[in-house]
Every structure is written in structure tokens, then in C-alpha cells.
């Protein structure tokens, strides 16, 4: 922490001069997002006014975070580089692999047993490469980051989509794929399309049942699940300052549901108080000293329409609690309208289970307000009519909630505490009866509610609300219960009302000591990486071979894909995710969802060596093992979807040398380039139709491969005829080096061999 504090101090000390230079070059007032983005440029000499939503810019984040599912392949790739330590502070969090079934203690024991080989690998790799390792049970990645690492003005990437949670502490924090995490850990730049900026001015003050969660539930409804795409949402105004730091984190966390790159609040007193309460007063003092650089310029706040790409105002005093869902987080209904909406849409109103907690809503404020609802309900002789579950975001918050009597209150109404992990939020909830696919309703304070996300049952109608509303609904048992106006009948037959919740943003007796982090040991370099040779889930990676220095000849066509080909078609999720640390095993899903142009079938392609139709991975392996490699052809926007790095590693592993398409989804194209697969596009899209099923393909011109050059594809048809056509590419000088070295990581590996 001392070492990290020194880094943070250096960042702050340099900030005034950086901002001065940025202002001089841009010659206008700056939003907070611009201050933070421009002060993290990888190449400070490239300080020009970037076009928002258009220019791709290289940044240098301060920190990397990974959860246990995404960290596996990221660390395996990091090992390939031969580096001894990560280039920026990083942490790994064991939270996603814990199944919620029988309560915290049992579930944690089961998870440690079931995932021991993954945890052993992660902890050994973290120790060796100087990464903080957070044990299973310590908490959920985003809560831990907020409690320990986030700092105002910083920039972080995290291999998880709710990384923006740290925006509650004034950080630009973006969810990325594992490939980006590897780049930054190895000292490479991190590329991002310079985002547009949505300004949201919050005025007034929350009151009654309304909470920070309702701010983002309302905004999700306004922006929809796409409205924030390629934008940062920046909050300001007296209303923003009135929210607690953890409330701000909730808003930023669920901002991911609008598709936003991230969300951010300017530094204020609530952040200073939270930093001090979590043992980081020195950081708080520095942030106070430099606060003018950690907020938007006054000129921006007084004329926001001029400086933001989109601009809204929300009066918190008028904000009504919302319930969002079912099946999508942007279907926002104020509680007062839920009766009408539920009836109109035929939603089941009996709530089977109500769940609070998760990385989104586990703050002291959340738990204390939910507990106050329970306390008042108990004193009014009410009982919970729905099942009630609690998923604390971290051990720190669980322990404090227990110490301050909240857990005791929850258990009095039958609440069950799950492990400090993702559990029901990510389908890791073994819910009794969910296999029966019964139509039912649940309500939770998490962030996503797509079909099957919580319990795997497509007929579970999941709704999202604040912890206090979820708790009130658990007591009423009805989705349509509006605690502001409605009364309940208690166990004595009396009509009673639940009073407005009360809570505190920080624990009066302070937080306890953080537990569960294994810091790297002083002799860490001697650490052996633990991977069992017969492991099905983990496998060491071999560096990919460098380019042979000549044109490519006689490559059989592997598959010509018809129509849409997303990263899901290329590397399916679901069942296969358990192999995400084992490239050979997960490669058995390569392209199994893609449609073969020649027979309209998935996972059935011609093996030119045998004349048989076989699954894609099997044929690719046969070509690779015969020494020839292969070529893939595709149509428009090839590789759209998630930024999953496996979709680029698998073809490389299976010997695919080139992918020729009408157009690429940009991230997938870059990922393929990084892995050393040649990516080219048809100069004339009609040439796609010239490729025949039994073609052998040559790729010519590689000795003159340079930015802007064209290459030639020669098709050797099996009837002896030959056709040639030009293909274009988007490689720059650096990316051509990746291709020649066999992968981007090989460049770093080679450099490390030389030093």
C-alpha cells in the first residue's frame, strides 16, 4: 500500500502541470472525463483534441483488476511474455466461481473443493508476478476495489463489465476483455475509442424511500441498454455531492447497463470521508489538495449543453423509487405504477425470493437501510412473506453488518446469508425447483436481470430495485406493494405501515481490518506456478511460432462462413467456460456455431484430406497436424459481440493462418492480429463468392507487407483453374511486427530474452 501510495502521490503531484498543458493545447474548459482521459495518455506528446466517438487513443491505466474466471487466460498469457512482474498494480478476485446453494459456510467450502486447482494456479501466479490475490470468500471484485484501491482521478481497467463501480470514487474505470488486461500488465498501451460524454446534472436531495439505486434505475429507463454506448456518463451538481460515495458507486456500477464505457463523479467530501473510513486518509488529503483538477471546470457546469454531447437534469427531491424489469434492466417502472403495469403485462405478482447485496448494493448505507426496514417491520409484528437472501459484497461489509446487529435482524425474518461472492447474480445459484421452469417472480438489488441470469430458469421474472424496496417487498410478498402508500396486515390482524427507512453512509464504529488478501511474498520470484499436468481446466500456453518469412502456400479452406459470425459463433460460452484456462480443451468449440456456406449446416465441414464432413475443430486440427494450416473466410462484421480473447486464440492454436472477410468487428480483428493470425478484407466483396469448398489458398506479397499495402489471394481450385484477387488490411507498423513475431506477446517475450 505504501508503494501504491507513492505512485498515487506522484500522479497527483504531476496533475496540475498535466492539466495546464491539456488546457493550453485544447484551449477550452474541460469536463472531468477529459481531464482524466488526457492525463492518462500513453504518449503525452500526442496531446491533440481528439474527436469524441471517432479517434482511437492509447492510454496508460494505473491499475488492472481481474476476477477468477477472466484471470485464468490473462495470467496464462502473461506467463508467455517471460516478464517477472506486472507493469502496473493488479489484483485478482475469487468471486465468480462460488455457487450459492446452502449458505455462506457450506458454499465456500464446496467452492474451494470444486475449484481448488484454479485457485491454486491463480494464487501461485499472483504471488510470482506481484499481484494481490483475494481469496474466495473475501468479497466481490468491485466492492473490494472500492474499499481498497480506487482513488479519485485514477484510471483502471478490469476484466469484468461492472468495473465502472470505481467511478463512485472518481475513477475512470472501464470493463474490458482479458486481452486488454494482459496488454496493460505487460506495459503495453490500452486502446480506447475516445468516448463521447453524457453530462447528467443532479439537483436536490433524496428523501424517503428513494435511494441512489433509483437514480440509475431511472437513467437506465431513459437511456435504454444502448443509450450510453461509446460514452462516459459524467455526474455533477449539488445533488451529486449529496449522494454518499457508495451511492455514487451504485450509480456507476449499473451505468454499465446503458452500454456506457464508464460513469464518473467529481471528487467531493463524500469521497474524502469514504477514503478516510477505509484507511486511506492520506489519499483523501491529497485529493482535497488537488480537488480542482478532479472535478469538471466551473465553466462546463454552468453551460453544460455546450460541453457535453448529451445533457440531462434529474431533481433528486422528486425522484420516486423504481422497479426495473422483467428480463431487461431498462424497463423502468415507478413503484406507484407497478400495480397497473403488472396487471397490464400479466407479470406474476407473488414474489418467491427477494435478494439484496451483490457488488452493486452492499454498502453500509444499503445494508443499514434494509435492516431498518426489517427492524420496523418486526416491531410492527410483520413477517417476511418471500424468501429473503443476502449476498454481502465483501468480508469487510459482512463483518461490520454482523457486528452492528444487521445480520441478526435479517435472520429474524428468515434471511439466509450467502457467501461474499457473485452467486445468484451470475447464474451460480442452485435454486431449488428452478429446473421445473416454473413461471415465477423474484426481485433483487443486483444490476442485471436478463432471462436465466439468476437461476437458469427462463421463466423467472427478475426485477431490480434498491435494497430497501426489495426488503419491503420481501415482507409484503407482492411485487405491487408500494411502501409509500400501502399498508400491510400484521400477525395480530392490524393494518400497519412500514416507516421510511433510515441508514448511515458509514459505520459509526468504523470498518474492521480487511481480510482475505494475499500479498506477494518477498521471495516471490522463486514461486512455482501450480498447474497439474492432467488438469482439464488449466494448461500452460506455448508461445505461437513466428512467421516463417515467406508467402503462405497451399492452405486448405477451413470454413467459408455464411452470414452473421459473432464471437459466440466462434467460441460459444455456457458449458465451455469451465475450460477458459485450457486452450486445447476450449478450442473444441471453435466455430461450432458458424454456418458452413456450402451446406447451410453448423459444425459440419469438408475435410479435404479425407473427403468426409466433420466438426470444424476436428478438421482444423487435422490440417494443423498435417503441417499445412488453414484459412477462414467470412462476411460482414465478422467477430462482433463480446471481446472474448478465446475467439482469437482458438483459431491460432488450431493452425488458422489467415481470416479473409468482407469486414471485421474491430475488437475481434485486433485480437486476431495480436495472436498472429493474418486478418485481411476483400478489396471487392464479390470475390467472397469465388472461394470454393475444395480450394487451396496462397497468400502472396507478405515480404512487402507494410501499412496500406495490398496482398494477393490466389485460389487454386480443385479443377486445376486458378483465380487471384487483391485483399486489403488495416495493419500499422507495430501490428505488422506482431504478425512477424507470431503474436504481440512474443514481442515482449523476445525483448525479455534480450535483457
Question: Helices 364-379 and 467-476, interaxial angle, to 10°?
Answer: 30
Backbone φ and ψ for 368, nearest 5 degrees, come out as -70, -35
Nearer to ligand SF4, 31 or 143 (CB): 143
**All residues at 6 or more sequence positions from 720 whose CB lies less than 8 Å from its CB, including other chains:** none
- Residues forming a β-bridge with 518: 133
The answer to whether 13 is a known catalytic residue is: no
What span, in angstroms and rounded, lies between the C-alpha atoms of 543 and 675? 10
Q: Is the dihedral of CA 100, 105, 110, 113 positive or negative?
A: positive
CA distance 490 to 609: 76
Place of cell 449543453: 305
Q: Tell me which residue of 665, 692, 683 sits closest to 727, measured CA to CA.
A: 683
> How are the residues of the chain apportioned to helix, strand and coil, as percentages rounded to the nearest 5?
40, 20, 40
Q: How far apart are CA 616 and CA 659, in angstroms?
A: 15
Residue 233 vs 697, nearer CB to ligand SF4:
233
Cβ distance to ligand SF4 smaller for residue 418 or 682: 418
Catalytic residue among 107, 130, 160, 404: 160
**Which one from 18, 40, 96, 280 is the annotated catalytic residue?**
96
Q: What DSSP string runs through 279-296?
A: T-HHHHHHHHHTGGGSS-
Marked catalytic residue, from 68, 95, 366, 376: 95
Between CA 620 and CA 629 the distance in angstroms is 8
518 touches 132 (CB < 8 A): yes
Q: Which residues contact 265 (CB under 8 A, 6 or more apart)?
A: 167, 168, 170, 234, 235, 236, 240, 243, 248, 251, 252, 271
Closest CA to 37 of 51, 254, 27: 51
Residue 96 falls in the annotated catalytic set: yes
* CA distance linking residue 331 with residue 321, whole number of Å: 14
Q: Establish whether 87 is a catalytic residue.
A: no
Q: Is 325 left (phi over 0), alpha (psi -120 to 50) or beta?
A: left
**Which residue's CB is nearer to ligand SF4, number 81 or number 447?**
447
Q: Is 95 a catalytic residue?
A: yes
Nearer of residues 165 and 628 to ligand SF4, judged by Cβ: 165
Burial class (CB in 10 A: 0-12, 13-18, 19+), 539: middle
Polymer length in residues for the chain: 755
Q: How far is the CB of 97 from ligand SF4 (least distance, A)?
A: 11
Gap between the Cα atoms of 223 and 261, Å rounded: 13
The distance of closest approach from Cβ of residue 421 to ligand SF4 in the complex, given in angstroms and rounded to an integer, is: 7
Q: Are 239 and 315 in contact (CB under 8 A)?
A: yes
The contact set with ligand SF4 (CB under 6 A) reads: 95, 140-142, 160, 162, 358-359, 422, 425-426, 446-447
Active site residue 231: no
Rounded to whole angstroms, the Cα distance separating 357 from 443 reads: 12
Catalytic residue at 571? Answer: no
Under DSSP, the state recorded for 500 is: P
Residue 211 or 447: the one with the smaller Cβ distance to ligand SF4 is: 447
Catalytic residue among 18, 52, 461, 644: 644
Which residue numbers are catalytic?
Answer: 95-96, 160, 448, 642, 644
Amino acid at each position: 500500500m505504501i508503494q501504491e501510495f507513492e505512485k498515487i502521490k506522484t500522479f497527483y503531484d504531476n496533475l496540475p502541470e498535466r492539466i495546464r498543458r491539456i488546457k493550453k493545447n485544447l484551449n477550452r474548459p474541460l469536463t472531468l472525463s477529459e481531464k482524466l482521459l488526457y492525463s492518462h495518455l500513453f504518449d503525452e506528446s500526442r496531446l491533440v483534441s481528439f474527436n469524441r466517438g471517432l479517434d482511437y487513443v492509447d492510454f496508460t491505466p494505473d491499475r488492472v483488476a481481474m476476477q477468477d474466471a477472466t484471470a485464468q487466460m490473462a495470467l496464462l498469457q502473461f506467463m508467455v511474455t517471460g516478464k517477472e512482474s506486472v507493469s502496473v498494480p493488479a489484483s485478482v478476485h475469487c468471486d465468480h466461481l462460488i455457487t450459492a446453494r446452502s449458505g455462506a459456510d457450506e458454499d465456500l467450502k464446496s467452492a474451494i473443493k470444486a475449484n481448488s486447482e484454479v485457485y491454486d494456479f491463480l494464487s501461485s501466479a499472483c504471488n510470482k508476478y506481484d499481484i494481490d490475490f483475494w481469496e474466495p470468500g473475501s468479497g466481490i471484485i468491485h466492492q473490494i476495489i472500492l474499499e481498497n484501491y480506487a482513488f479519485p482521478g485514477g484510471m483502471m481497467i478490469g476484466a469484468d463489465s461492472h468495473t465502472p463501480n470505481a467511478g463512485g470514487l472518481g475513477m475512470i474505470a472501464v470493463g474490458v476483455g482479458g486481452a486488454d488486461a494482459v496488454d496493460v500488465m505487460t506495459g503495453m498501451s490500452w486502446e480506447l475509442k475516445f468516448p463521447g460524454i453524457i453530462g447528467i446534472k443532479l439537483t436536490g436531495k433524496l428523501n424517503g424511500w428513494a435511494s441512489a439505486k433509483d437514480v440509475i434505475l431511472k437513467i437506465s429507463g431513459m437511456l435504454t441498454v444502448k443509450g450510453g454506448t461509446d460514452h462516459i456518463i459524467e455526474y455533477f451538481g449539488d445533488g451529486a455531492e449529496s449522494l454518499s460515495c457508495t451511492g455514487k458507486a451504485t450509480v456507476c456500477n449499473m451505468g454499465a447497463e446503458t452500454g456506457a464505457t464508464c460513469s464518473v463523479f467529481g471528487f467531493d467530501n463524500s469521497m474524502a470521508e469514504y477514503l478516510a473510513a477505509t484507511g486511506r486518509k492520506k489519499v483523501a488529503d491529497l485529493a482535497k489538495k488537488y480537488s480542482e483538477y478532479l472535478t469538471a471546470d466551473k465553466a462546463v457546469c454552468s453551460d453544460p449543453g455546450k460541453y457535453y454531447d448529451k445533457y440531462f437534469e434529474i431533481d433528486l427531491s422528486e425522484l420516486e423509487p423504481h422497479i426495473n424489469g422483467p428480463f431487461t434492466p431498462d424497463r423502468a417502472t415507478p413503484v406507484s405504477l407497478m400495480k397497473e403495469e403488472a396487471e397490464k403485462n400479466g407479470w406474476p405478482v407473488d414474489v418467491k425470493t427477494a435478494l439484496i447485496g451483490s457488488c452493486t448494493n452492499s454498502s453500509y448505507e444499503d445494508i443499514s437501510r434494509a435492516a431498518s426496514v426489517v427492524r420496523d417491520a418486526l416491531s410492527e409484528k410483520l413477517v417476511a412473506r418471500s424468501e429473503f437472501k443476502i449476498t454481502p459484497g465483501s468480508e469487510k461489509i459482512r463483518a461490520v453488518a454482523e457486528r452492528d446487529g444487521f445480520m441478526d435482524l435479517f435472520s429474524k425474518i428468515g434471511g439466509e446469508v450467502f457467501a461474499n461472492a457473485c452467486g445468484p447474480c451470475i447464474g451460480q445459484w442452485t435454486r431449488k425447483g428452478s429446473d421445473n421452469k416454473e413461471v415465477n417472480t423474484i426481485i433483487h438489488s443486483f444490476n442485471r436481470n436478463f432471462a436465466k441470469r439468476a437461476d437458469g430458469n427462463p421463466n423467472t421474472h427478475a426485477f431490480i430495485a434498491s435494497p430497501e424496496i426489495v426488503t419491503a417487498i420481501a415482507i409484503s410478498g407482492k411485487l405491487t406493494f408500494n411502501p409509500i402508500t400501502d399498508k400491510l396486515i400484521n400477525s395480530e390482524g392490524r393494518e400497519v405501515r412500514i416507516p421510511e427507512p433510515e441508514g448511515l453512509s458509514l459505520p459509526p464504529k468504523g470498518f474492521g481490518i480487511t481480510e482475505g488478501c494475499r500479498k506477494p511474498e518477498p521471495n516471490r520470484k522463486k514461486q512455482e506456478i501450480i498447474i497439474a499436468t492432467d488438469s482439464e481446466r488449466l494448461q500452460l500456453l506455448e508461445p505461437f511460432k513466428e512467421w516463417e518469412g515467406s508467402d503462405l502456400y497451399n492452405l486448405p479452406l477451413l470454413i467459408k462462413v455464411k452470414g452473421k459470425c459473432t464471437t459466440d459463433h466462434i467460441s460459444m460460452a455456457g458449458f465451455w467456460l469451465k475450460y477458459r484456462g485450457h486452450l486445447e480443451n476450449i478450442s473444441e468449440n471453435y466455430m461450432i456455431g458458424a454456418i458452413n456456406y456450402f451446406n447451410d449446416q453448423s459444425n459440419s465441414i469438408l475435410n479435404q484430406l479425407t473427403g468426409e464432413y466433420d466438426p470444424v475443430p476436428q478438421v482444423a486440427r487435422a490440417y494443423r497436424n498435417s503441417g499445412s494450416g488453414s484459412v477462414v473466410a467470412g462476411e460482414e462484421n465478422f467477430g462482433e459481440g463480446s471481446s472474448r480473447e478465446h475467439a482469437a486464440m482458438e483459431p491460432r492454436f488450431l493452425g488458422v493462418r489467415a481470416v479473409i472477410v468482407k469486414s471485421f468487428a474491430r475488437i475481434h480483428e485486433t485480437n486476431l492480429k495480436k495472436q498472429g493470425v493474418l486478418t485481411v478484407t476483400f478489396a471487392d466483396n464479390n470475390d467472397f463468392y469465388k472461394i470454393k469448398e475444395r480450394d487451396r489458398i496462397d497468400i502472396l506479397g507478405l515480404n512487402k507487407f507494410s501499412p496500406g499495402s495490398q496482398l494477393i489471394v490466389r485460389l487454386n481450385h480443385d479443377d486445376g483453374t486458378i483465380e487471384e484477387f487483391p485483399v486489403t488490411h488495416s495493419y500499422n507498423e507495430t501490428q505488422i511486427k506482431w504478425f512477424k513475431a507470431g503474436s504481440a506477446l512474443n514481442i515482449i517475450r523476445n525483448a525479455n530474452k534480450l535483457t
